[in-house]
Structure 1
Amino acid sequence: MIIRLLPMTLVMAIIFFLSNTPGKDLPSAINGLDKILHAIAYGTLAASCLYGIHPAARDKSSLRTGIAVVFFCFFYGMTDEFHQSFIPGRSPSWLDIAADATGAALTVLVWHGWRARGFISRRLRKTMGSC
């Protein structure tokens, strides 16, 4: 079970490492590109969280599981923005938090939709359940 949490822990560590980079060391971004990168990063975090949740709990109530994952990612995004307030050249942004939550929510919606329509096959569920 612990091994299922490794991808989530790795993604969280990468996000922390990137947010710990001083502002002067960051490349200048195309306007709005940083929000897309935030959404991708937190969508990846949401996917790794969904993978890390024990299959029995995940299958019990996929909607409740999805909501919990989005709230977890939202909370981690808030703490990440707070952390950035201590990094030279960086500042917290509510728009970044919104992009984080949007990326997580889109990932959970796609996952929930796949489950509801049967795109995640029984065989894959059995394979994931044996981990």
Structure 2
Amino acid sequence: MFEYLQKRKVWLIYVPLTVYWLILFSATTIPTQKLPSIGFNDKLIHFLAYFVLAVLVNLTMIFQRKSIQLFEKAPLATIIICLFYGAVDELHQMLVPGRSAETLDWIADAIGVVFGVFVVYFLINRLGYRLEYN
């Protein structure tokens, strides 16, 4: 499976990451008056959104072959990138009508990021794959 992903990383990892990130950014620029009511705690949405983002960013770091440092520090790089983006996105929402920056939203983002990174490495270990930079 790893070989399959490595050979098709552009279409299976890079393109989905780009599309997902554009959708995520677009969704956070919609004024709240134009959003449908979700009917439950928005922190779950934050958790899930950043969980998926972290999985895709982490896989990108693992499968890229431009920098061995990014490969070796993929979990840390993923956490830094996603948490930085989450903070910038929360600040950006202060400029969107009807939205605000909330620390609890960023904390939900952070928990989603950490879980996303954990799940990637849990599955890699569980499936018996050995990560090598080649």
CA RMSD between the two structures: 2.9
- Partner residue in 2 for 1:48: 56
Shift of 1:58: 8.6
Question: 1:26-105 alignment to 2 at 5 Å?
Answer: 26-32=35-41, 34-55=42-63, 57=68, 61=72, 64-105=73-114
2:18 to 9, 26, 37: 9
TM-score (norm 1): 0.77
Structure 2 residue 127 is matched with structure 1 residue 120: yes
Shift of 1:8: 1.7
Q: What is the CA deviation profile of residues 13-50 of structure 1, one whole-angstrom value per residue up to 9, with x for unaligned ones?
A: 11111001111112234352x11011101110011112
Instruction: Point out where structure 1 has 5 or more consecutive residues left out of the alignment.
Output: none
Shift of 1:105: 0.3
Quick check: 1:50–1:58 contact (8 Å CA) kept in 2? no
TM-score (norm 2): 0.75
Residues 105 and 58 of structure 1, relative CA distance in 2, 3 Å threshold: farther
**Count, aligned residues:** 122
Q: Which amino acid aligns with 1:23?
A: T
Over the matched positions of the two proteins, sequence identity in percent amounts to: 30
